[in-house]
Amino acid sequence: MIARFLVGARRGLRWVKQGIAAGGFFFPASHYALLALLFGVGLELMFVLQRWVIGVAIALGAVVFLGIFLLVSKERGSFPIFTAVLPVFYVVGTIGFAFLFPTTGLLQVYIVAAALFFFFLLKHAARAVYPVWNWLLTMTTLLLCCAFILGLRFHLDVSVVATLLFVYTAAFLLALQAYRRFYVPAAAGLVPAGTTALVLTELAWLMQFLPIHYLAQASIITVCYYVIFHLLHLYERSGLTRRTLWEYIGVGGAALGIIIISARWI
């Protein structure tokens, strides 16, 4: 029994050393963790220093953007310049949505989750070898950005043209960096990204005539993005069949039905 325990302990210690040396999933390089920690602390300060909340938010965004581009310049081989699109939009969406988040006990959960998601985004989602991470966090980022943009229109009555322009920009750039994962050459992703962004923008425009809450609108846009993106991905890989087409349409339709039924109508 003791011998088996010692053998297991040695193997575990060896695994820990290998993880630390390789900078693996559980033992990442320190700069990712430090930047994510800085981001979480900055979000906390936004609500502690409410008199200067806009200034703190701008300063936080500037510092984190600088950190992202320092990572890009330091790890140019594994962190190409275009992959900075995802973390930049994530920071914008997270900070922006924080202004709309109710100051309840869930706020601390939001801050911790935002910092953890940011860490995994820097560590995995920005790299070409982790496409699933990228696709998952791209949807999360699109949801946050759309909720922030549509929330500004809901609360501050921002013009429809400006709202749609912001939605198109976020959807196009986020979709383009995601499509680049499987389109070779990368320029081939311009057409599907532009088409996806146009469809989502038209959907956002249509929902401006409906008395539905902005969170429901952002969720509907995200579900439609999920269906469009994965259908195009399967089509590019020659894996799109009638069965998978109806499966994704069914999943998307069910998700839209749940959102519409549970949505708050104004």
Given a cut of 70, is residue 244 above it in pLDDT? Answer: yes
Under DSSP, the state recorded for 182 is: T
Determine the Cα–Cα distance for residues 121 and 135; give it in Å rounded to an integer: 11
The pTM score is 0.84
Q: What are the Cα distances from residue 76, in Å, to 5, 73, 91, 235?
A: 43, 5, 21, 31
Say which residue, 181 or 255, is predicted with more confidence: 255
Coil, helix or strand for 212? strand
E strands in 6-155:
none
- Element (H or E) spanning 24, and its range? none
pLDDT digits (tens, 9 = 90+) for 42-61: 999 988 888 888 899 999 99
Determine the Cα–Cα distance for residues 179 and 223; give it in Å rounded to an integer: 17
Coil, helix or strand for 179? helix
Say which residue, 83 or 251, is predicted with more confidence: 251
- Mean pLDDT, the chain, integer: 84
Nearest to 39 by CA among 100, 106, 110: 110
Determine the Cα–Cα distance for residues 176 and 225; give it in Å rounded to an integer: 12
Coil, helix or strand for 145? helix
Nearest to 149 by CA among 196, 111, 93: 93
